[in-house]
Amino acid sequence: MKAGICPAGRRHVLGVLAAMVSFSAAPDGSAGARAEGILDAACTPGSKFIVKDYADRPANTQPRGHDMAAYVKAKNAAGVDTEYMLLVWAVDSGKPGGGFAFYSWDNPGVWSAPVERFTYQASQLREAHSTPLTNMVGGRWSTFVAEATTGFSVYDLSSAAAPLLKKNFLIAGPANGGKGSAALCGASCGTSYDAGPRDYSLGGVWYISVQAPYIFVGQTDNGLNIFKFTDPNDASKIAWVKRLDASWFGHRVNSVWAMGNLLVAAASEAVYGVDVLDIGNPENPVKLHHYDLTTPTVTRNAYSWTLNGTHLYEAMKPKTGLNKNGLGVYSLNPADLSLSWQGQYVGTCSSGGYTAIQDGFAHIGLSSCYQKVDLATLKAVTPRSPPYSIGITGADNDFVTPFGSAVFLGNDHNSEPGSAVLCHQAAADTRPPAVNGQMPRSGATGAKVTTGVGVSFTDNLKEWTISSASLPVRRQGSSTAVPGYYSYQLNIVNFRPVTPFDAGTTYQVAITAGVQDLAGNGATPYTGSFTTASAVSQARFDDPDHTAWSVTDNLQEGDPAYGDSPATIAGVPDLLRGRTWIRPASGSRTVAADAPVVDLELAESAGLYVCADTRGPLPAWLDGWTDSGLTLSLADGAASWPMACYSRTFPAGPVSLGGAGGAPSQYVVALGPPTGAGRAFAQAAQHGGSLTR
């Protein structure tokens, strides 16, 4: 052990890690050596550096290797925040004997070898097909969820010098989603499995996608398991939510990708099946589309699947009469989330392994080599003969993680250790990352209030640059970000609010240049939106002389205030921005207060805000409503006037509001969150009239 690392101190700091993880300092220098950051430099394409951190740790009796790389920001031994490349290494085929290491570059702007700073043995870890992180706990991007031989392991990576194993969750038994657990099944349930040291079948944990607080686990023949962080202050507190049996899908579940209200669950290795799910309610997924060998859109023989933007990519293994090896591309229709086949790049070398996307190119591991493919032409831009590779005899070039001008090639398994950092383009990366997909799609309406929001980018990101300041989700027109949790996995950011979104509300998803890719390029600014389903399931308006009434989304300044008048909304209180509202007919102001004019059917509890003209007497039926202190302003030409907003909470069911009783102007109704206001008068009655929503 190097100087500066105290064994006793290490055991004290690592706490629960001590039983499962052993630590060693970097072989290049003291543990306190300061890391400078992540490489992005001009280089000669094809040049490379070999990484061998897992050699003989412990004695190398089984082929082991690296998988997908992650990039994290953590404190070094001196307590300085430092950017690292995180490499997980493991024994092939899901067997125990893994670990992980932190690397960085002393001078990231110069093409140079990575320096190993810290390494740990973690015998329970298996191959890292995915590397999800979340900032749910304490707002820090330090919670890492890793595949394990018997479930999954949750680490706190706040310190690279002293990572903490918070929970080694065992997927075992009926109470934790394992053997004998209840499940949503097909015609009949298949065999259930505990997680174990398996490869791509029989309950092995193949892939993890995190949309905190939810954890989606592709557990091969055990189907899809859903878990949940239950305490935002303690990553060790996790509960099992639900299992979707393999029979429900019609195939085992290997690759799993969550992006907002979308989840893709797909099979691998000569098992054919892809399912597209709606996870707008993550505890009750809904199957939208199923694809296999018999469907119009045929699935090919994939080893892995990658979701990015509006496309699903498969690393293909050759199958006689079906497909050759290489890269397969499916487009994803943002409107109905259906898939359609786009084409294939036929690779050289051998079978497809894994794929990652960067700036319009697909990086694909093809077992005996690596290739970079232009997605616009589906042609390789790296040499096909001889191709780039790790260059070690027998190395399995399956895993690819691009970062800047380099790509990390993970040698999946080989008795001779060694992975590579390889130059894939001559110039340093100066291209800003851009949004290439949003779920719910931008402009979508009717989104579930329980949905998450997913945003896909053209490049791998520094997830620690993602926050409510750089990527806020907020009500349209409001400057206040909705509190929530962010998660990240290979180009995809997921956001989920602490509490469900409000019904009938338009939300804005904003991307600023504060979001950075791994080369430090700020993102191209982007603004998208989506609207949640309104609490109003039906609306009837009972003024046959003035019929220009409607239920409208997204209340904002500048909206026409009435359906039959030039008056406009001049000012909206922040609480009501982006809400569903009722645009009335101005002429209905003459309807008597005791004559029901608005009949609503609420699908759920909602707050009604009746904004009335106080220049005249208020209608008697508003007696007992709470003065919210909010003011909606209207204008007509040079004239403007305030409308005081009175609030009342209604349960799901019918609600009827009376007329304005001859007020100077017709009241306007907005729907917002339940207000908790006290007694109010509102008739609940059925009336004839036009159905507008």
The residue ranking higher by pLDDT, 321 or 583, is 583
Question: What H or E segment, with its residue span, contains residue 9?
Answer: helix 7-14
Q: Write down which residue in 508, 532, 556 finishes a domain.
A: 532
Q: In three state form, how does the secondary structure of 558-603 look? A: CCECCCCCCCEEEECCHHHCCECEEECCHHHHHCCCCCCCEEEEEC
Q: Is residue 626 domain-shared with residue 610, that is, in the same domain? A: yes
Same structural domain, 518 and 647: no
pLDDT band at 63 (very low <50, low <70, confident <90, very high): low
Residue 379 has pLDDT above 50, yes or no: yes
Do residues 451 and 502 make contact, with C-beta atoms less than 8 angstroms apart? no
Both 561 and 666 in a single domain?
A: yes
Tell me, letter by letter, the H, E, C secondary structure of 423-455. Answer: ECCCCCCCCCCCEEEEECCCCEEEECCCCCEEE
Same domain membership, residue 685 and residue 541: yes
Interval 327-337 mean pLDDT: 96
Q: Are residues 628 and 680 in the same domain?
A: yes
Residue 6 counted as domain residue: no
pLDDT value at 108 more than 60? yes
**pLDDT of amino acid 20:** 38
Label residue 323 by pLDDT band (50, 70, 90): confident
CB of 425 closer than 8 Å to CB of 417:
no
- What mean pLDDT is predicted for residues 620-639? 95
On whether both 653 and 548 belong to a single domain, the answer is: yes
Burial status of residue 12 (CB atoms within 10 A of its CB: 0-12, 13-18, 19 or more): exposed
Q: What confidence score (pLDDT) does residue 4 get?
A: 31
Sheet containing strand 255-259, strands side by side: 255-259, 262-266, 274-278, 286-291
CATH of the domain at 511: 2.60.40.1220
Average of per-residue pLDDT across 163-170: 97
Q: According to the model, what pLDDT value does residue 620 have? A: 94
pLDDT for 26: 45
By the 8 A CB rule, do 241 and 283 touch? yes
Split into its structural domains, the chain has a count of 2
Is the pLDDT assigned to residue 399 strictly greater than 50?
yes
| 553 lies in the same domain as 575 | yes
**Which pLDDT score is estimated for 674?**
77
d(CA 191, CA 276): 23
Question: What is the reported pLDDT for 642?
Answer: 97
Q: Which residue has the tokens 């409503």?
A: 625
Radius of gyration of the chain (CA): 28
Instruction: Note whether residue 301 is domain-resident.
Output: no
Please state the rounded mean pLDDT for residues 54-63: 59
Region class of 563: left (phi > 0), else alpha (psi between -120 and 50), else beta: alpha
Residues 511 and 564 in one domain: no
Give rounded-to-5 percent helix, strand, coil for the chain. Answer: 5, 45, 50
Read off the pLDDT of residues 468-519 as tens digits, 9 standing for 90 and up. Answer: 999 999 999 999 999 999 999 999 999 999 999 999 999 999 999 999 999 9
Lowest mean pLDDT among 21-30, 232-241, 345-354: 21-30
Question: Would you say residue 544 lies in a domain?
Answer: yes
Helix or strand run (H / E) with residue 70: strand 64-75
Residue 163 lies in a domain: no
pLDDT at residue 18 tops 80: no
Q: What is the mean pLDDT of residues 598-604?
A: 95
Q: Which H or E run contains 99?
A: strand 98-104
pLDDT at 414 over 80: no
Checking if the pLDDT of 130 tops 80, the result is yes
| Burial class, 454, CB count within 10 angstroms (exposed 0-12 / middle 13-18 / buried 19+) | buried
Please indicate, yes or no, if residue 130 is contained in any of the structural domains. Answer: no
Decide which of 515, 532, 549 is a domain's last residue: 532
For residue 123, which amino acid is it? S
pLDDT at 309 > cutoff 90: yes
> To the nearest whole number, what is the mean pLDDT of the chain?
89
Q: Which of 359, 554, 389, 610 is nearest to 460 (CA)?
A: 359
Sheet arrangement for strand 668-672? 550-552, 581-583, 668-672, 606-613, 639-650, 626-636, 568-571
The mean per-residue pLDDT over the stretch 603-631 comes to 94
pLDDT at 61: 54
Q: Is 478 inside a domain boundary?
A: yes
C-beta neighbour count of 250 within 10 angstroms: 16
Strand, coil or helix: 125: strand
pLDDT score of 685 more than 80: no
Share above pLDDT 90 across residues of the chain, in percent, rounded to a whole number: 81
Residues 668 and 541 grouped into a single domain:
yes
**Residue 568: which domain range?**
536-691
560 and 682 together in one domain = yes
Whether residue 401 lies inside any domain: the answer is no
SS3 of residue 411 by DSSP: strand
Pair (587, 644) in one structural domain: yes
Rounded-to-integer distance, Cα 434 and Cα 452, Å = 20
**Residues 6 or more apart in contact with residue 536 via CB below 8 angstroms:** 504, 551, 580, 600, 601, 602, 603, 606, 671, 693
Dist CA 67 CA 438 (whole Å): 27
Domain assignment of residue 516, yes or no? yes
User: What whole-number distance in Å separates Cα of residue 390 and Cα of residue 309?
Assistant: 29
State residue 59's pLDDT score.
54
Q: What's the CA gap between 355 and 373, in Å, rounded?
A: 10
End residue of a domain, out of 495, 516, 532: 532
Domain identity same for 680 and 590: yes
What does the alpha-carbon distance between residue 499 and residue 193 come to, in Å, rounded to a whole number?
33
